[in-house]
Amino acid sequence: MQINRYIYSFSYDNAESELCKLESRYIFNKEEKNKLLFSDIKAEPSSSAFVKKRLDIISFSEDYSTLINEIKKESICIEGFKVEYLVLDGDTTEYAERLKKLKDIGYSIEGIPDYYSPTITYALCYYEDIWYFGILVKNNFAWHKHKQKPCSYSNSISISIAKALINIAAKTDKEKKLLDACCGVGTIMLEACFAGNNIEGCDINWKICKNARENLSHFNYTANIYHSDIKDINKRYEAAIIDLPYNLFSSATDNDILHIIESTAEITDRLVIVSTSDITTLISNTGFRISDYCSVSKRGKTNFARKIWVCEKNG
């Protein structure tokens, strides 16, 4: 039987559903379904705002007794372990039965458990007639600390969007050279630095650049931030993220928007653009094509949505 090595569980609200699926396509090459995904690709849960847990599969079987025997054959010997039961979509196992099965697992492992500060967490789950056992890795949500950055904007994108943009741009490759072309106070750059991505930023506003540097320094991150018009950047990048300034739309300066997109298009073959209006015509004028897209509405504001455009160079 062909089996994937990892099981991922997701958490998101309706407003973020499209974004989660878009991010999933670029991390795992397929969409999550019912907040669940099986994959051979190993991804760090904390690099995403939506991946809640990852189960690294050790053993699996359609027969529960066989699974227990397989676990015993592993001869796991470790102090301070914990075992959890993951309830996946379609699992109707009663709570009392779950507890019983967790005891079975615990007795199959050599060592004293620690339920409060485990050195390692194992998990058992049941999905589509197969029992799975493995090591559980959780999103530690340490990135929530970025909400307390020294400098912020009221209209900045959310951390969830920022993290997704990085994953969409990098496609799991931490070595890819990324550019945040309108970096603002560094919301996107903070998430890239946290996840270990290779990123630089630029902004035309010197005060904003100063704020971005202050935010990165506050969390002990290091990345180049250039006070520059994007047209004056002469490096090349494997992908660029453009979170278009919203005041440009209110004053209807399409030329300014086109300038940012065209200038960035000169130094990369791949763009991930965030806008608050339809910019399909502007993108087509730059020699790029839209390869993917999603819309993210703001919680409580049904009339406001950010649009995310994934663009590749024609030819």
Express each pLDDT in 52-73 by its tens digit: 999 999 999 999 999 999 999 9
Q: What is the mean pLDDT of residues 153-177?
A: 93
CATH class of 6-138: alpha beta
Listed residue (161, 151, 154) closest to 185, CA to CA: 151
- Residue 112 identity: I
Query: What's the pLDDT score for residue 248?
Result: 42
Express each pLDDT in 244-297 by its tens digit: 986 544 444 778 888 999 999 999 999 999 998 899 998 988 889 999 999 998
Tokens of 132: 């799975």
CATH class of 143-313: alpha beta
Instruction: Give me the half-sphere count of Cα atoms (radius 13 Å) on the Cβ side of residue 83.
Output: 24
pTM score: 0.93
pLDDT of 107 higher than 70: yes
Average pLDDT over all residues of the chain: 93
Where, residue-wise, is CATH 3.40.50.150 in the chain?
A: 143-313
**% of residues, the chain, pLDDT over 90:** 85
Q: Which residue has the higher pLDDT, 259 or 154?
A: 259
Q: What is the mean pLDDT of residues 180-191?
A: 96
DSSP states along 89-135: TT----HHHHHHHHHHHHHTSBS-B-SSS-SEEEEEEEETTEEEEEE
Q: Sorting pLDDT into bands at 50, 70 and 90, what band is 4?
A: confident
Where, residue-wise, is CATH 3.30.2130.30 in the chain?
A: 6-138
Express each pLDDT in 31-55 by its tens digit: 999 999 999 999 999 999 999 999 9
